[in-house]
Amino acid sequence: MIGPSVYSNPYLETSVFIALIKGEVVDGIDRGEIAQHILDDAGTERWPIFTSTFTIVEVFKKRNRPALTIVEEQRIDAFFKHEYIKLVTLDRYIAEQARRLAREYNLRPADAVHLASAIRVKADEFLTWDNDFPHNKTIEGVAIKDPYWFGQLRIIT
């Protein structure tokens, strides 16, 4: 039986999707597996996953890293079609809020778009591995954290 969820309305920033597709392991932490667990649990209707429509473009390439291959790009496109992934449209309101957040918190414009999107949907947690964000800080009700998964790990036989 699946217990209660810890997330309510998590927002996943682009770095989480890239970690999933690339199978990233950084400092002994399997980011790809953590991302997969979060998405698997969301798929069981425990919670929705929010991300910006801008993520669809931004996920193409992580800064200073190679672009996704065609196969990886097709795989990520499939993720964005799941019903539990709720896309937040980058509209004028979010753009104006992003500009304000970029100035106020010294964020890159793309990062500010993500934060403004998370605030718009009242995300409880903003999950990112991007070090440009102020981790372990709450901004306008949204807690910025490294992604984490809770529960029992998979047993590989």
Fold of 10-145: Rossmann fold (3.40.50)
Question: Which residue ranges make up each domain of the chain?
Answer: 10-145
Spell out the per-residue pLDDT of the chain, length 157, in tens. Answer: 234 456 788 999 999 998 988 889 999 999 999 999 988 888 777 788 999 999 988 887 666 667 778 888 888 788 788 888 999 999 999 999 999 999 999 999 999 999 999 999 999 999 999 999 999 999 999 999 999 876 555 544 4
Rounded distance between C-alpha atoms, residue 18 and residue 6, angstroms:
23
